[in-house]
Structure 1
């Protein structure tokens, strides 16, 4: 079945958040408990869940909704940029009537903050706090397919981490791995490896 639309990961795929997101966690942890953590510790916790889960692990206790605001405040203070070629690729897709769908492990709110900072407005946005199970479970991508009104076999997921590729396969999506991503690993099985965002345009049916 030909691929007609794409669902994108956010961090490390659409947006270069390698500094902004860890910095927000580091600053929020310091504010909430006085503990100093480093970027590597934050990155190791990315697979555990959305921001509330990661921040609670860093601080060492369950946090109130008010305390979680420390992370979102810091996140909003750090502008982020799309990777080179992303804005042009998304504009080209939109010009052909292709919708922009994003499924990210970040919370819906964090994704809104970061995407808005980068000037990106998705048509479909699914955060990690909106699905029953995190990647590599297929839940988020199954939800995306439903929202797009497409069969999984008509869709590709572009995501930089091994968990993204496993989630794509589990959901019945084509798994496209962006080599520019933060967590890209060349040995991770993928249906395609992309060297630049614009390669997506040549891979879509009827583009």
Structure 2
């Protein structure tokens, strides 16, 4: 195995956002006078794509211009924390001169809001609005590979959701399951199962020299 760097999923992998994100959607739908929506309905719709796509699905209609701002207002300033060990692991990767890359189904705007709230920074953020096809398609990983200047087969995607693992496999990357995340499914095949974020450091222990900075 010749892994040079990792790409991180965000929700459920870097951030414990299992409450914050569904609540923001529920508040947005209520503000827009939409149908009754529960947090579980939101989670079940994550696979559909960006926040705009999910919100339109929950509203059961196309959104009018600027209606998606209801979601971003609800998300802005929300308190969200990284999982234990995440900040320390990212710092350790930076000490190795490795860029921190995030690939999320959320929009780039939502990702930046949440990462900032959690006190985390990334060198490269690929949101669901950056690609034509959401996870489990390979698009995001292939874009990350191009931006990092690293072949996809030398990257690992760390994520808690089956969609993350399937996206890694579709790109020919190493699939690393984040077993601490809220959507972790032990039945979903993965190349590696990581029990804590710092397991990433061991995963990269035999990496080759530094990838290029995006």
SS at match of 1:18: coil
Compute the displacement of 1:36 (Å).
2.4
Name the structure 2 match of 1:157: 157
Compute the displacement of 1:128 (Å).
0.4
Q: Describe the superposition over 1:144-186 as per-residue Cα deviations: whole angstroms up to 9, x where unpaired.
A: 0000000111110001111110100010110000101111000
CA contact (8 A) 2:135 2:167 kept: yes
User: How many Å separate the matches in 2 of 1:97 and 1:19?
Assistant: 33
Compute the displacement of 1:34 (Å).
4.5
User: How many Å separate the matches in 1 of 2:17 and 2:46?
Assistant: 13
Name the structure 2 match of 1:177: 177
1:50 aligns with 2:50: yes
User: How many Å separate the matches in 2 of 1:134 and 1:202?
Assistant: 29
Compute the displacement of 1:129 (Å).
1.1
Compute the displacement of 1:33 (Å).
1.6
1:72 aligns with 2:72: yes
Runs of 4+ deviating beyond 4 Å: none
Give the gaps of 5 or more residues in structure 1: none
CA contact (8 A) 2:2 2:207 kept: no
Name the structure 1 match of 2:17: 17
Name the structure 1 match of 2:212: none
Count of equivalent residues: 207
Question: TM-score of the superposition, structure 2-length normalised?
Answer: 0.94
Aligned residues: CA RMSD: 1.1
Name the structure 2 match of 1:89: 89
SS at match of 1:66: coil
User: How many Å separate the matches in 2 of 1:133 and 1:153?
Assistant: 20
CA contact (8 A) 2:6 2:156 kept: yes
SS at match of 2:136: coil
User: How many Å separate the matches in 2 of 1:20 and 1:143?
Assistant: 28
Q: Describe the superposition over 1:95-137 as per-residue Cα deviations: whole angstroms up to 9, x where unpaired.
A: 1101100000000100000001111111111000110111111
Name the structure 1 match of 2:190: 190
User: How many Å separate the matches in 1 of 2:195 and 2:34?
Assistant: 41
Name the structure 2 match of 1:133: 133
Structure 1 or 2: more helix by fraction? 1
SS at match of 2:29: helix
Give the gaps of 5 or more residues in structure 2: 209-214
1:37 aligns with 2:44: no
Compute the displacement of 1:206 (Å).
4.4
